Amino acid sequence: MGAYKIVSFSVVILLIIVLFAGVVIVPAAAQQPDTMQFRYNAQHTGDYSPVAGSNTSRGKQTWNYTTETFMISSPAVVNGVVFVGSYDYNVYALNATTGTKLWNFTTGNAVLSSPAVVNGVVYVGSDDNNTYALNATTGKLMWNFTTGGLVFSSPAVVNGVVYVGSDDNNTYALNATTGTKLWNFTTRRLCCFLPRRRQRRRVCGKR
């Protein structure tokens, strides 16, 4: 009888250890963001830890998707969809799990800009001088704003305003819903790098 109690107690302890071990071993599921911009956020901190989870790829390729030519644009991953631009003039939306193409939108030139995805809208520039707003679900054009030069700057979206630089030496502030220009600031040289939010200021590089 005493031996039976010892065995039973040992089994209970073993089960408890296994359960707690399971809690430790099972990786936390990554939180699915509903917004993402170049280098994660409007501040471009590059800190993806809030959505990265604890899973690691261990160097194994899950899938790949081939476009007509090379890509410089950095992907944004929102709600299980990868959004990325290509030098083949297209913006692509791909299933983040399988790599299956969901839609593509063709611009008039190469897309070097990295998409910003905010509130169900994809904001991205193109070398056809335009900044585009696309429906993130369907890829349908919502609006476009034409500048006087290439737009390979990556948009930053803050409080309903899209900030983007152009090869025409201007930084633009656009209404995120309508694409209407709110203002522009002319620099001494082309504004080809990304605007970013820095406290209450907007910073745009020049070259």
| pTM of the predicted model as reported, rounded to 2 decimal places | 0.72
Q: Which amino acid is at 52?
A: A
Q: What is the rounded end-to-end Cα distance, in angstroms, of the chain?
A: 84
Note the pLDDT tens digit of each residue in 117-174: 999 999 999 999 999 999 999 999 999 999 999 998 899 999 999 999 999 999 999 9
With tokens 């169900």, the residue in question is: 120
Tokens of 11: 């089994």
Note the pLDDT tens digit of each residue in 61-109: 888 999 999 998 989 988 889 999 999 999 999 998 999 999 999 999 9
DSSP state letters, 89-125: SEEEEEETTT--EEEEEE-SS---SPPEEETTEEEEE
- Is beta strand 170-175 parallel, antiparallel or unpaired with respect to 181-186? antiparallel
Residue 182 contacts residue 206 (beta carbons within 8 Å):
no
Tokens of 67: 């476009």
Tokens of 106: 């063709």
